[in-house]
Amino acid sequence: MTQKPFYLCSREYKPDPTVLDFEKVKVGTEQLLIIAGPCAVESEEQMSTTAAAVKAAGGHVLRGGLFKPRTSPYSFQGLGMEGLNLLIDAAKEHNLLTITEVMDLEHVEKLAGSVDILQVGSRNMQNYPLLRQLGKLDKPVLLKRGLSATVEEFLAAAEYILVEGNNKVILCERGIRTFQNHFRFTPDISAIPLVHELSHLPILLDPSHCSGNSSWVSTIAKAGIAAGADGLMIEVHPSPEQALSDGQQSLVPGQFLTLMKEVRKVAGAVGRTL
């Protein structure tokens, strides 16, 4: 008999939701996890201002990319390991957890020892050696859906992590490629209830990369929570017009605070807490 490609991720294998316990938030319960911060770590001031805003609005995890998978090789590629302490120090100052993207096998060990959650970006969803390596760790991994991946392919990618022994996996819907060209990507809201039906793993929504435009982030975020997402990943920057990546879709702290107030209302309406 051939094994289902996402057997360990499936409800057949494990009927109850997988819960990741971050002390303040238990992801996979009624509690929502909020990850926010800039697309890329740029400076001490940028990180510390953003961290303060994320904390004040009720966020839990500070994000910030060190290694950026940019479409153009001529765009800002991230500060690399030089930015690591800027992320860690800003998070510590405001009592937040940390997440950053790992793109390369050679950075896995160092980043796993330094941050609370490792992010696998959309473009690396099917980087199987990377997934297997992360599967050997005892560390939460946030796996973003590939730009053109089906939900089955998404779960099969998560399976590469689980099959190596690490079941601390959080999925993240970040929008897919469709024929519509008004938004950067199309938020696949339907993937959220579908993942919940097929899998015990928690799933977040990233409305920032879905839309590519700050005006739509809040609306898409609320739709995601209403559809059952276990949390959100949102790009926030103190001065988006100066951001070195994804400024167009980044919220300023005030907009993020408003979003959180609105999301809290939707959360209450669907039995979730924030």
Which residues form the interface with ligand PEP (CB under 6 A)? 39, 65, 69, 121-123, 144, 174, 209
CB of 235 to Mn ion, least distance (A): 6
Burial label for 58, CB within 10 Å (0-12, 13-18, 19+), is middle
C-alpha–C-alpha distance, residues 2 and 182, integer Å = 41
CB of 174 to ligand PEP, least distance (A): 4
- The interface partner of residue 121, options being Mn ion, ligand PEP, none and the CB cut-off 5 to 8 Å by kind, is ligand PEP
In order, the DSSP letters of 218-255 are: HHHHHHHHHTT-SEEEEEB-S-GGG-SS-GGGPBPHHH
Q: Are 149 and 123 in contact (CB under 8 A)?
A: no
- The interface partner of residue 87, options being Mn ion, ligand PEP, none and the CB cut-off 5 to 8 Å by kind, is none
Nearer to ligand PEP, 68 or 168 (CB): 68
Element (H, E) at 265: helix 253-269
Q: Which residue type sits at 215? A: S
Q: Which of 101, 188, 230, 246 binds Mn ion (CB under 5 A)?
A: 246
Select the residue whose beta carbon is closest to Mn ion and give its number: 39
Select the residue whose beta carbon is closest to ligand PEP and give its number: 121
Nearer to Mn ion, 230 or 246 (CB): 246
Q: Which residue type sits at 210? A: C
Question: Residues in the chain, how many?
Answer: 274
Q: Which of 34, 39, 171, 221 binds Mn ion (CB under 5 A)?
A: 39
How many CB atoms are located within 10 Å of the residue 20 CB?
20
- The interface partner of residue 78, options being Mn ion, ligand PEP, none and the CB cut-off 5 to 8 Å by kind, is none
By the rule CB under 5 A, 42 interacts with Mn ion: no
- The interface partner of residue 122, options being ligand PEP, Mn ion, none and the CB cut-off 5 to 8 Å by kind, is ligand PEP
C-alpha–C-alpha distance, residues 93 and 228, integer Å = 32
Nearer to Mn ion, 39 or 118 (CB): 39
Nearer to ligand PEP, 121 or 140 (CB): 121
Q: Are 274 and 58 in contact (CB under 8 A)?
A: yes
Nearer to Mn ion, 39 or 51 (CB): 39
Q: Give the binding site for Mn ion (CB under 5 A).
A: 39, 246
